[in-house]
Chains A and B, each alone.
Chain A
C-alpha cells in the first residue's frame, strides 16, 4: 500500500513539553511538507524539505523544528516555545517542491494541550 502515514492520530502535550509527530512516505517523493490547520484558517505551511538533509522554514516555523535524515521520513517536533500548539497537523509529500506537483496528504495528527 503506497501512501503517507502519520502517527499518532491524537497527541497530548503537557506544559513545557516537547512532542514529536511522525510522518513516513513510501511514494519515493523528494519533497515533504508540514502544515498546521486551525478552524477557519485553512492550511499554513510550517516547514518543507526538498531533499534529504535539507529543509526550509515556511510561514509559521517559530516554535517548531524538523529533520530529514531519510527520504521516507520527516518528523516534526513541537517545542515548548510554541505557546498555542493545539491544532490539526498534516504532513504531505510530492515528487518535487514546485507548485505544479500534486501533494499527497497523510491522515493528520490532532495535538491537544493538557
Chain B
C-alpha cells in the first residue's frame, strides 16, 4: 500500500500564481522527499526534509511539515510554465529494518502561460 498520498491529484494555475501540493502519510517517517517528473522522463529530486526540521527552502520551493497531521506541503512560488510536470512525494518510514522510500501516485501540475 502507498505510504505517501498527494493531494490534489491535479492542479491547474496561471503563471505567476503559487502552487500548493500536500502529501499525507499513515505512519511515522524519518524524512520526506519531493521529486518532479516531466512527461515521459525520469524523476528528479527536488528537496528533502527530515522529521525534526520545521521548514525547508530551495529557490522557489518551500516544504512545510505538519507532523501532528502526518502531512507535508510543497509550495512553489511565482510559478512558471516550465514548472508544468508531475510531482511525487516519497516517504521513509521509521518502522522496519532497511526502510526504503515509498512513492505516492503524484500530482499533475499545469501552469498556464
Contact = CB atoms under 8 A, between A and B. Distances in A.
Contact of A105 (B33, B42, B48, B105): B42
Interface of B: 2, 30-31, 33, 35, 40-45, 48, 50, 88, 90-93, 98-101, 103-106
Q: Is the interface of A mostly helix, strand, loop or mixed?
A: strand
B43 A90 contact: yes
Contact of B92 (A40, A99, A110): A99
Q: Is the interface of B mostly helix, strand, loop or mixed?
A: strand
A41 to B, nearest CB: 6
Nearest to A3: B42
Interface in A89-111: 90, 92, 97-100, 102-108, 110
Interface residues of A, number: 24
A45 B99 CA distance: 13
A34 interface: no
A43 B100 contact: no
Contacts of A41: 105
B49 to A, nearest CB: 11
